[in-house]
Structure 1
Amino acid sequence: MGSTSEVGRRDLVKRAMALGLISVPTIGALSACASGGDDDNDGGAKGEKTEKNPLGVDKNAPLELLIFDGGFGTQYVEDDVAAYEKKYAKVKTGSTVKIQSKVQGRMAAGDPPDVINNSGDEAMDVPALIGQGQLADMTPLLNAPSIDDPSKTVADTLRPGTVEMGQYGDEKCYRMNIAYSVFGIWYSQKMLDDHGWEYPTTWDDMLAVCAEAKKEGIAGWTYTGVYPQYLGFSMLPMIGKVGGAEVLDAIDNLEPNAWKHDSVKSVLEAHYELHAKGYILKGSGGWKHTESQTKWTEGKALFIPNGSWVENESKDTTPPDFQMTVSPSPNLDGSDAMPFETIWAQAGEPYIVPAKAKNVNGGLEFLRHMLTKKSAAGFSKLVSSLACVEGSEEGLQFGTGLTSAIGLMDAAGENFLNPRFPDWYPTTWREHVVFVLGDMMKGDASPGEAVNKIQQIADDAAKDDSIAKYKH
């Protein structure tokens, strides 16, 4: 990896996260009440609650854990498994890249794993699971004493916004995020420096840099056409920058014609120019994320929209002097509502505990072990990502990618965006909207056609009573 830098106290991160993340939705409709009481879940093995066992774990009950084997891998949980097994029973650990395929049948049959890292392209639809009463309430975990400092609750130790990202319309928490991700446009600073180019702060500058790169036989952009939701890491924050956060709020709220706002049209037209001018690496539309990332680290393309896990996920193909860097999406022009430094960053990499798990309390206890500073710092060191435990990054050294991501959060000040459409309506977003964006980037739909199609998709979701609705 490239050069590293010392990371100290991050008061600005805390403030910015609070501003960017705390947006608690109010529920519109749920098809059924979620399982779990105010301070206890009903099912699963139970033990005696004591000072050392505040969640009442049955010490003889085994625990089953299923991890998403994606950008963060699975090694980061090994210390937590060892720590849990010292106090309680054996942990059976499994991994997959296809969470839904692996566990959907088991969820329906009432025989799910006790803890699930519900991430990746096949992550299960959390609002749907809540509506079916399939998820345990994590309030007991949040109210439990922290392992680091029993005078504090677990909730007290988390970065602002972490709990809120697990809430869907009430004060219960249905998922626990362990990572804090920064989204943006990633590139090799060395490649830019070698050619005398600067990162573009406006879209005209972006097109100009891409034109220069094309002359050198380098594509301006690449992306994953197989998982086109990655395009949102550039498009959504740019929409908010151009039109203001209220445009993203209107999209989140499923308001009529929200996707037809001028800022949405402008941003889609801007990205379409990359295709129209031949600045996208040929083949991108058919590649998986790892394939596009490899082409990028090989220097075949300048820019790629991605999240801060990319540094770890592509480490095996990244040259030592690559100087991986992330910057915000460019502004459209000087009339934009928000400054260039505006970014999208949020708590992510969610864990859930099924309500029908055999060891619900054990699942919550396992997460309590994950939410210690030691575990969080180990996670950060291993996978080059910030964790959601407050202060866990202090004193650590990171690669250039995460260092630049932290710098973005500092520079953003109060200019943070947190679009909720992708996690409030995950099926609508992941299975419908993003493929329209992907078609547009391949030239199979014009920006105008894409806007109309996406608006119809959003309208259909708004009318569908089986989909839970949320509002800012």
Structure 2
Amino acid sequence: MGSTSAHNNGGLGRRDVIKRSAALGLITVPTMGFLSACATSGGGDDNDKKTETPKGETSAENPLGVKNGAALEAFIFKGGLGDQYAKDAEADYKTKYKADVKHTGTQQVGPKLTPRFAGGNPPDVIDNSGADHLDMNKLSSQGQLQDLKALLDAPSMDDPAKKIRDVIHPSTLDKGMHGDKFDVLYYAFTIYGTWYSQKLLDAKGWTYPKTLDEMVTLCGEIKKAGIAPWTYAGKFPYYVHFNLFAQIAKIGGIEPWIAIDNLEPKAWTSNDAVKQVVEHYEELAAKKYFLEGSQGLTHIQSQTAWTRNKAVFIPNGSWVENEAAPTTPKDFGMAVGALFDGTGDKMPTGTLRGEPSEPYIVSAKGKNPTGGMELLRIMLSKKHAQNFATKVKSLTCVQDATEGMTLSPGLASASKAVKAAGPNLISLQLQEWYPALTDEKIGGLTGQLLTGDLKAADWIKKTQAEADKVAKDSSVAKFKRTS
């Protein structure tokens, strides 16, 4: 669970917190290397009393009323994007409010913070990303997440005439809702898709395919050239869902996908696009178009195989450029392609999955939630949005922040793909709302599909059964999507 001393748990010993968390059902036993960590404040003792938030005077410069000298604790996921960009924003907070900022960068957000939430002593602001993240749905339903309406209504750092809600991507506002409460700020804007080396394609005379059938044909040519067409993170097969799920929505249309997001009966089995897409993956597996041994690779290992040209394509998000930088040749020409056309598509050629990512939350029961929101306001300035693009080669939710900047190859390709897609950007909720379902249960089935151990028809039937189980499970908080 990570090393957490007694004083960090509001006086509770770490073992007591873990015992209490287990007894309350707050800790989920991880499967397939994924921890769906749930957290709450337990109930009924002194640890559940909310600390009074230190308040300062509000002003044009300090619209949220941060108290001068009020310390801030930030817990930042340190994965593909690193955490320097957050430290840079924290430095501005520290200077502006003459306050100490305690920073923790980690890949184990859930394991380290489950006892903190259970002990009633969570940090103020958290980048809740990575495989081992906290279950935000449970946190929200238990009142642990700060309502961020005050942040949305605050003036932006760059133009006081514009509120924060006016400068961020509209989908960020939609995705951060739990019911009628906006309590998650997805800071990054990630482009998901099929990533490849433009240099390799050019050298071999290959063209990025437009259709699923063209992809199968090209895979045959690639295999004959002695290269694997595809690789993927077999240890975390939900990476494949970044493409697979969006491909279903592209072909079948967003309405049938909304039924999937809403866990409706027969949403998987009655959608012809599901059959079309899953059978495509079954064919790729049957023809052995995946790099041998991919099922045993982590995301880093699969990305390294890809940057070394052992495989041509990889399903991933736009953080990959930064995460794979240590092994990427300078002239690699990293690029991302749009979703493929199938048969009878409801969405046009060029449709792309692009959506808010990197979820930031502020603890309602932290010591300084006002400061947590102010840190996010600082991060949403053009200065820090551009710093993010420079440092981690990724877009933020701040609209038009990178205009006029010279972008890295992968980011330039992603930006071009977004412009080409226009309004045809797909955003999905299933993986955010029900990660245990998608990443563990369906992920396990996808792993079997890609090794040829599960047929498409069985994948669909079993996926529907798993979704039905979640739909009927009263212990899982449910959310409804209308558009």
CA-to-aligned-CA distance 1:38-63 (integer Å, 9 cap, x gap) = xxx98433233333322222223211
Tell me whether 1:269 sits opposite 2:279 in the alignment.
yes
* 2:74–2:103 contact (8 Å) kept in structure 1: yes
1:371 aligns to 2:380 (yes or no): yes
**Cα separation, 1, equivalents of 2:61 and 2:83:** 28
Contact 1:125 1:427 (8 Å CA) reproduced: no
Q: Where do residues 61-100 of structure 1 align in structure 2 (5 Å cutoff)?
A: 61-88=70-97, 89-100=99-110
**Structure 2 unpaired stretches of 5+:** 1-39, 42-49
Cα deviation, residue 439, structure 1: 1.9
CA deviations 1:421-448 (Å, max 9, x no partner) are 1112223222222221122112232111
Alignment-derived partner of residue 115 in structure 1: 125
| Match runs of 1:177-192 below 5 Å | 177-192=186-201
Alignment of 1:222-237 (within 5 A): 222-237=231-246
Report what 2:12 is aligned to: none
Distance in structure 2 (CA, Å) of the matches to 1:48 and 1:413: 43
Do the aligned residues in 2 keep the contact of 1:243 with 1:336 (CA within 8 Å)?
Answer: yes
Superposed CA deviations along residues 356-409 of structure 1, whole A, max 9, x for unmatched, are 101111111111111101011111111111111122111111122111111111
1:101 aligns with 2:129: no
1:282 has 2:282 as partner: no
SS in 2 for 1:398: coil
- 1-structure distance, mates of 2:408, 2:309: 19
* Aligned-residue offset at 1:159: 2.1
- CA distance in 1 between partners of 2:51 and 2:350 (Å): 46
Give yes or no for the alignment of 1:135 onto 2:139: no
| Amino acid across the alignment from 2:436 | T
Contact 1:117 1:351 in 2 (8 A): yes
CA distance in 2, matches of 1:336, 1:87: 52
What residue in structure 2 maps to residue 176 of structure 1? 185
AA aligned to 2:204 is H
Q: Is the 8 A contact 1:43 1:357 kept in 2?
A: no
Q: Whose RCO is larger (CA < 8 A, sep 6+)?
A: 1
Give the corresponding residue for 1:193: 202
Structure 2 SS opposite 1:179: strand
Q: How many corresponding residue pairs?
A: 432
One of 338, 348, 352 as aligned partner of 1:339: 348
1:433-467 per-residue CA deviation (whole Å, 9 max, x = no partner) reads 22211221122321111111110111111111222
Contact 1:241 1:340 in 2 (8 A): no
The unaligned stretches of length 5 or more in structure 1 are 1-30, 33-40
What displacement does 1:340 show? Answer: 2.4
Q: Distance in 2 between matches of 1:379 and 1:348?
A: 14
In 1, the alpha carbon distance for the partners of 2:223 and 2:207 equals 16
TM-superposed deviation, 1:413: 2.5
What corresponds to 1:320 in structure 2?
330
**Map of 1:24 onto structure 2:** none
- Tell me by how many angstroms 1:192 deviates: 1.0
| Counterpart for residue 248 of structure 1 | 257
Letter in 2 for 1:274: L
String of CA shifts for 1:52-96, please: whole Å, max 9, x gaps. 322222223211111111111111122211111112211111111
> Percent identity, aligned pairs only?
47
Say whether the 8 Å CA contact 2:77–2:107 is kept in structure 1: yes
Contact 1:43 1:360 in 2 (8 A): no
Letter in 1 for 2:169: R
Query: Which secondary structure does the structure 2 equivalent of 1:212 belong to?
Result: helix
For the pair 1:220 / 2:239, whether they are aligned, the reply is no
- TM superposition shift of 1:412: 1.3
Aligned to 1:302: 312
Structure 1, 423-432 or 292-301: larger mean CA deviation: 423-432
1:399 counterpart residue number = 408
Are 1:330 and 1:340, in contact at CA under 8 Å, matched by a contact in 2? yes
CA distance in 2, matches of 1:397, 1:415: 25
1:471: how far off? Answer: 2.8
Q: Distance in 2 between matches of 1:134 and 1:435?
A: 31
Distance (whole Å) between structure 2 residues aligned to residue 433 and residue 222 of structure 1: 19
- Alpha carbons 2:250, 2:346 under 8 Å: kept: yes
Q: Distance in 1 between matches of 2:60 and 2:425?
A: 40
Which of residues 356, 359, 367 is equivalent to 1:358? 367
Distance 1:409 1:462, change over 3 A: same
- CA 1:457 to 1:43, structure 2 compared with 1: closer, same or farther past 3 Å? farther
The two structures, once aligned, show a CA RMSD in angstroms of: 1.7
Provide the rounded CA distance (Å) in 1 between the counterparts of 2:154 and 2:291: 50
Query: Which amino acid in 1 is paired with 2:246?
Result: P
My pick for the range that moved more, 398-407 or 113-122, is 398-407
Paired residue type of 1:338: M
1:157 aligns with 167
Letter paired with 1:127: N
Matched, 1:124 2:101: no
Mapped to 2, the partners of 1:402 and 1:43 lie a distance apart of 43
1:238 corresponds to: 247
Answering whether residue 166 of structure 2 is matched by residue 166 of structure 1, we say no
Distance 2:338 2:241 in 1: 13
TM-score normalised by L of structure 2: 0.86
1:417 to 403, 426, 431: 426
Tell me, in whole angstroms, the C-alpha distance in 1 between the residues paired with 2:148 and 2:203.
50
| C-alpha distance in structure 2 between counterparts of 1:60 and 1:414, whole Å | 44
TM-score by length of 1: 0.88
